[in-house]
Structure 1
Amino acid sequence: MKPIQGFSPFAMTLAAALTAGCSLQPAYERPDSSVDAAYPTGAAYDRQPGATAPDGGARSSNGKAAIDIGWRDFFIDARLQSVIEIALQNNRDLRVSMLNVEAARAQYQITRAELSPWVDAGASSTRERTPSNLSTGGSTSSTVYSVGANVAWELDLFGRVQSLKDEALAQYLSLAETRKAAEIALISQVAIQYLTMLGEEDQLAVTQATLKNAEESFRITKLSFDNGIATELDLQQSQGILEQASATLEAYSRARAQDENALVMLIGQALPDDLPAGKALSQQNLLTDVPAGLPSELLQRRPDIAAAEQSLLAANAYIGAARAAFFPSISLTGSFGTLSPSTSGLFSGGQGAWSFVPQITVPIFRGGANRANLELAQVQKRIEIARYEKAIQTAFREVADGLAARGTYDRQIQSLQRYETTQMRRLELSNMRYRSGVDDYLSVLQAQTDLFEAQQSLVSAKVARANNLVTLYKSLGGGWSVLLTNLGAPQQASQHLTSS
């Protein structure tokens, strides 16, 4: 080290003046949405329902957008609400997503730290012996003790480190939005699985009623056959309906059990015994009149689109770092402290010493690595543009599909309800005609089969309608307003990171 006498902080002042540097990142422009300015119109879209439900009851969203409607307001079933709370606490995929966000935040903080000087404190002891043939005074030995601080700083004149910091921040925000999307998706998955399970219970009830009727019909037919009134064909046909209903009952029992297993996996634990009482499928009364808004509003509502744009911003920032690699890099290292031949003299007056080592590195030949890295960064940006556009197109398609379904399910269910009524009356008339000897037993069996299929179709349509309302609510960006997580929205997280 050189003595501190006469040291001027000129170099450090110059370095501070140069740290503002410049950025070689391309100016970011949001790509076009690449979708229509309005959702499709036509027969499937013209009759969007209001606050009505085929099964009665009405709850209105009062014009609120989906993003402003918390899942507790959308779902009124206390049992379903409890199941969703458990899933948000225990789901393993969501836990991995949250940990990925924490890892990205730590990586951003690591990258940001490279913009600041690094200061280390150190102490050392050096003992040296000089041979007599190399020293005028004969063989000598010396010991030097040092205590001081070391400083290292890269002057980011061309914005390489700043670009890497911007890239890390965008990647963090992308993962934060992805985590947000994962929570919304989990809520919808739990709700759909729960509603599907309720649908299986309704199918079981329909099948059990059909089986009971089939058993009674078989008993009467068997009695008639034993008394020589009914034919063996009547008996076999009656038993066929009975066996068909029995097989269907087993299938729905299996589906109900498997639906519960899927729900247990989603929530990450067994269903607690103390869950609140639930509502039947017909009592869920989901909001049906959530406004769709405009496709352009999906850019602010959908976290998956926000995540795709943050990934695009990260790729754009990395181009700046790739460009900066073509320019010189300047680093400053220095140290200051005390030197002494003995530990007792380390802090005596006049023992101060310092060193200052500026260094510049100019890339000359690297086998085309820098150019290839820049080309890779530019291609990666084009890939992220395509992914961003695909995310918008996917969101548009999901909402359009949901609107088409919402505009048709109510009328479909109403038609199926009327069809069920006709088949019930048909069965009554077929029984009357058979007992009067007008028709054979085949007409009764066909009426039973058609009624059973009509009831099954009605339950399936009700389940599909409820699931579509949940999916549409999610597709419009709903579900984030009420969550049980500690990390705030990505924008809040960004402000926290940049200010800390």
Structure 2
Amino acid sequence: MKPLLCSAALASCLLAGCSMEPTYQRPGMPVPNSFPSAAPTTQAAPSAAETRADTAVANLDWHQFFRDPALQRLIEIALGNNRDLRVAAANMTQARANYGVARASLFPELDLQAYGGRQRLPAQTQQPANGLLGPVQNNNDKAATFNTYQVQAGMTSYELDFFGHQRAIAHESGKLADASAAEYEAARIALIGEVANAYLSLNADRALLQLAQQTLAAQQQHAQVMNKAYGDGGVSEFDMRRSQTQADAAQVDVENVQIRIAKDINAMAVLIGQPLPASYGTPSQWQDPLLTDVPAGLPSSLLDRRPDIVAAEDRLRAANADIGRARAAFFPNIALTAVLGTLSGGLSNLFHAGSAAWTAAASGSMPLLDWGKNKNGLAASKAGYTGAVAAYEGTVQEAFREVADALAVRDHIVPELKAQQALVDQSQRVYAISQVRFKEGLDDYISSQDAQRSLYNDQQKLVSLKLDQAVNQVNLYKALGGGWNQANSGKTTASVTAPAQLSSMRASP
């Protein structure tokens, strides 16, 4: 038996390099080398400091990007409690375990078996071994009863992977595990962005609520003045009624904003996996620097670090390995069986001298007539690879579009914000003047209300633009693959089932 096992081991070593997998070639990036530049009138050329900052963005941790302590705490809670992230972590762990199962098939599996039985055989018959070391025979002319006891250890049907069938399966499973790890990281970055956007929306709605409440107070006060003036005969019923409708409309706005705030809080509770802490009831001031700005002049090579692109390429590599598996199916399958143990008709003699038994065998099979099964299997694998290439290129193009859109918004929203702020300042001045003129009887009620309504609309628009700017910064951060790095990832994901370090999850080829 030893020469047979040594020969099989030597053959496995000699043929270990044989693989049916095509040489993997990464598809070219179907996007320009750089993102669209801003117009000269809105964006200056990137300075040397900004160019150096490009590399820093690729390694920026989310703690450095989201500088608001309240937001940082919410993100930490979400990373520990969010259920969707836990599902992604479980999927990653499952894929890693499946890779371990596939990789184990590359090595012989040793089993220990024990058997004890009693059976009756007719005259001149033989009972097949059925996986045991040897058959039981009755060479007598009469039926006989036999006892059989045995202990055996060995390997059964170990495939000699001459043509890389098992290695291709393990390689494919490993790349799928890598893809699952990248998808977990993508889910983590997406969650950070969702929490940030939900927090910004909540702050914006609370700012809008303050505006609505201020407007309501002003309208109610004005309505009271008009009611008194109507009672004194100083204004018409039309003006009095119209002032009351303005107050009612302001009340409707207050209630609508409160509904949105309630929905914002409920959405945040789902994201962080628990009720929103009471300490987050006060919104942050919009003028505070909540987010770190992303520098200009970004190269499109930053897309390489996006987890969804990494996952798409890992699935492409898995599809490439699957072609190797399909090709190997055309070639012979050779398997070894080797068992060593003891066999005895009496339990007391099971381990006595002379009870040793062994068996060794090699078997082979090769497709002869499969009615196109392997041919169609290979065609299916090649089609799967073609689809994976298209999926990878589509992921890259979509990522490029997301970054380009965010950069376009960033290039133009700053001058828009400045213009809107100037408009609010002018509207406030116009409203103040209209109030004075109304009280002095120089203007009628309608002029004053128009000025107040314009100011309110301009203030709402300013809050909306500030929200758009902040959300766009978050979206740009997400589109560039986040600011995650290995050094800081562990402290935010300790309570998650699976580790967050993406590099440690990369499966071996």
TM-score, normalised to structure 2, is 0.89
2:483 is equivalent to residue 485 of structure 1? no
Does structure 2 conserve the Cα–Cα contact (< 8 Å) formed by 1:66 and 1:291?
A: no
Which residue number in structure 1 is paired with residue 362 of structure 2?
Answer: 358
* CA 421–37 in structure 1, closer or farther in 2 if over 3 Å, else same: same
Q: 1:160 aligns with which of 142, 165, 168?
A: 165
Range with bigger deviation, 442-451 or 138-147:
138-147
* CA 189–292 in structure 1, closer or farther in 2 if over 3 Å, else same: farther
**1:231 positional shift:** 1.9
**1:75 positional shift:** 1.6
Q: 2:223 aligns with which of 214, 218, 226?
A: 218
Letter in 2 for 1:223: K
Unaligned runs of 5+ in 1: 52-60
- SS of the residue 1:357 aligns to: strand
**1:126 positional shift:** 4.7
Query: What's the CA shift string for 1:376-428, capped at 9, x where partnerless?
Result: 11111111111111111111111111111111222111111110111111112
2:35 is equivalent to residue 31 of structure 1? no
Does structure 2 conserve the Cα–Cα contact (< 8 Å) formed by 1:80 and 1:278?
A: no
Q: 1:144 aligns with which of 145, 148, 157?
A: 148
Which residue number in structure 1 is paired with residue 250 of structure 2?
Answer: 245
- SS of the residue 1:157 aligns to: coil
Does structure 2 conserve the Cα–Cα contact (< 8 Å) formed by 1:77 and 1:278?
A: no
Which residue number in structure 1 is paired with residue 277 of structure 2?
Answer: 272
Query: What's the CA shift string for 1:427-456, capped at 9, x where partnerless?
Result: 122233334444332111111111110000
- SS of the residue 2:287 aligns to: helix
Which residue number in structure 2 is paired with residue 339 of structure 1?
Answer: 343
Query: What's the CA shift string for 1:202-254, capped at 9, x where partnerless?
Result: 00111111111111211222222222222222212212221111111111011
2:94 is equivalent to residue 103 of structure 1? yes
Range with bigger deviation, 355-364 or 216-225:
216-225
C-alpha distance in structure 1 between counterparts of 2:426 and 2:227, whole Å: 28
Does structure 2 conserve the Cα–Cα contact (< 8 Å) formed by 1:71 and 1:478?
A: yes
Query: What's the CA shift string for 1:148-175, capped at 9, x where partnerless?
Result: 2121310111111100101000000001
Does structure 2 conserve the Cα–Cα contact (< 8 Å) formed by 1:166 and 1:317?
A: yes
Unaligned runs of 5+ in 2: 126-138
Query: What's the CA shift string for 1:466-500, capped at 9, x where partnerless?
Result: 11111111111224234322514332222xx549x
Q: 1:69 aligns with which of 49, 53, 60?
A: 60
Range with bigger deviation, 109-118 or 366-375:
366-375
TM-score, normalised to structure 1, is 0.90
C-alpha distance in structure 2 between counterparts of 1:86 and 1:414, whole Å: 35
**1:351 positional shift:** 2.5
Range with bigger deviation, 164-173 or 374-383:
374-383
- SS of the residue 2:152 aligns to: strand
- SS of the residue 1:142 aligns to: strand
Which residue number in structure 1 is paired with residue 443 of structure 2?
Answer: 439
**1:370 positional shift:** 1.2
How many residues of Structure 1 are paired with residues of Structure 2 in the alignment?
484
Range with bigger deviation, 474-483 or 370-379:
474-483
Which residue number in structure 2 is paired with residue 463 of structure 1?
Answer: 467
Q: 1:388 aligns with which of 369, 374, 392?
A: 392
C-alpha distance in structure 2 between counterparts of 1:393 and 1:7, whole Å: 58
C-alpha distance in structure 2 between counterparts of 1:236 and 1:277, whole Å: 36
Does structure 1 conserve the Cα–Cα contact (< 8 Å) formed by 2:38 and 2:411?
A: no
Q: Percent identity?
A: 36
* CA 460–38 in structure 1, closer or farther in 2 if over 3 Å, else same: same
2:181 is equivalent to residue 190 of structure 1? no
* CA 128–430 in structure 1, closer or farther in 2 if over 3 Å, else same: closer
**1:140 positional shift:** 4.0
* CA 244–331 in structure 1, closer or farther in 2 if over 3 Å, else same: same
**1:133 positional shift:** 6.8
Query: What's the CA shift string for 1:270-302, capped at 9, x where partnerless?
Result: 123456976323324311243552112211x21
- SS of the residue 1:282 aligns to: coil
C-alpha distance in structure 1 between counterparts of 2:426 and 2:46, whole Å: 28
C-alpha distance in structure 2 between counterparts of 1:211 and 1:263, whole Å: 28
Does structure 2 conserve the Cα–Cα contact (< 8 Å) formed by 1:146 and 1:338?
A: yes
**1:142 positional shift:** 3.4
Aligned alpha-carbon RMSD (Å): 2.6
C-alpha distance in structure 2 between counterparts of 1:165 and 1:45, whole Å: 55
